[in-house]
Amino acid sequence: MKIQERSAQVWPLLAFAAHNRQLLSYDLVSKLTGMPAVGLGAVLEPIQSYCLLKALPPLTVLVVNKGTGMPGAGFLASDVPRQTSSVFEHDWLAASPPSPEQLADAVRELPSNANG
């Protein structure tokens, strides 16, 4: 399965977490999706790129390290508390999630992994 297909699977999970005003640890996302926690940064990048291109709040801010409660090093936005609040306020369930193709296009247009 391609990264953008995995990203498309994670989007609804993050949208639901935002709707419920919840943060998700990398470990929990790994358990819920069957994806290794170590590789989740690559899966989150297409979502981050899409949000940046579409001027959406950074949905990936919800995935945090268990010990620090902060997003991983690949997360680009600053002022995490303000960004988290903006994600909680957005109505993610009002629109359809992006397709794998839209997510792949977003990364091609705007790579966004701070580690890569």
68-107 pLDDT, tens per residue?
A: 999 988 888 789 999 999 999 999 999 999 999 999 999 9
pLDDT at 48 over 80: yes
Proportion of the chain above pLDDT 70, given as a percent:
97
Amino acid at 55: A
Give exposure, 34-64, as e/b (b: 16+ Cβ within 10 Å): ebebeebbbbbbbbbbbbbbeebbbbbbbbb
Full-model pTM: 0.94
Q: Cα-atom radius of gyration of the chain, to the nearest Å? A: 13
Tokens representing 40 are 């989740």
- Which pLDDT score, from 0 to 100, does residue 116 have? 47
pLDDT at 115 over 70: no
- Which pLDDT score, from 0 to 100, does residue 6 have? 96
Q: In whole angstroms, give the CA distance from residue 116 to residue 101.
A: 21
